[in-house]
Homo-oligomer: A and B are copies of this chain.
Amino acid sequence: MSQMQNVERQLREMILGLEIGPGEKLTERWIEGRFGASRTPVRAALLRLETEGLVGRDGRGWTVSPINLAELEQIAVYREAVEVAALRLTCTHADGNAIDVIEAMLDSCDENTAREEWHRVGMDFHIELARLSGNEFLFRGVRDAMTRLSRARWLEVRDEAALGRAWAEHRAILAATRLGDADEAARRLSAHIVGSRDRLVTSLANDRRGLRARGFAVVAA
């Protein structure tokens, strides 16, 4: 694999994994040294990650995008539009086998599963469901929105009960989709997204002090 893709992938993982905190300054030379690549692939990676919203410009330099509560709310609205559209599309040509695969993803999580894995599967559920629509642009929209939400969701304080409820909602959405009941599926997905957004923003707003203490920049709604 080329250096360019390597730097991009590794830097993205460090940002999403919060190994580099939201709001931290980045210098091209530091990245260069950190990954043993020269500046050309480093700059290519930064340009890509900028379009993903993971890094941004801070004057002349680069910054890991802070957690922005107002932005999170906007993303949730965008996500609802594209994900519901994708799901409605999927309902028009529901494929039982494909839905089985996604349901198996949910089943793969139990009480012994690491929290990190629940997190990842929770994202992939929505991404893979959107992929079933067959529409590349709706799919990308959902995937990009989930990427932008990823760090915030990881920071969210979630209890076991909340995760269980989310999983139940996922299953209900799948069930309606399997039946091709677009209205029911859309209704449940909308509720899921809105609820998810509210819990997320509330949790982060409440924990803002703690997040700042960890050195994470959090911008208010």
Determine how close the nearest CB of chain B comes to the CB of A93; give it in whole angstroms. Answer: 13
How many copies of this chain sit in the oligomeric assembly? Answer: 2
Q: A81-B82, A82-B81 are in contact. Are A137 and B74 (CB under 8 A)?
A: yes
- Please, how many residues of chain A have a CB less than 8 angstroms from a CB on the other chain? 23
Q: A82-B82, A141-B141 are in contact. Are A135 and B47 (CB under 8 A)?
A: no
When C-beta atoms are compared, the residue in chain B nearest to A88 turns out to be: B81
Cα distance, A47 to B40, chains bound together (Å): 12
Determine how close the nearest CB of chain B comes to the CB of A134; give it in whole angstroms. Answer: 8
B71, B77, B138, B145: the one within 8 Å of A78 (CB): B138
When C-beta atoms are compared, the residue in chain B nearest to A80 turns out to be: B85
State which residues 31-80 of A face B: CB under 8 Å: 40, 43-44, 47-48, 51, 71, 74-75, 77-78, 80
Determine how close the nearest CB of chain B comes to the CB of A138; give it in whole angstroms. Answer: 5
* Top 5 A-B residue pairs of the complex, sorted by shortest distance between their CB atoms: A81-B85, A78-B137, A51-B51, A47-B47, A74-B135
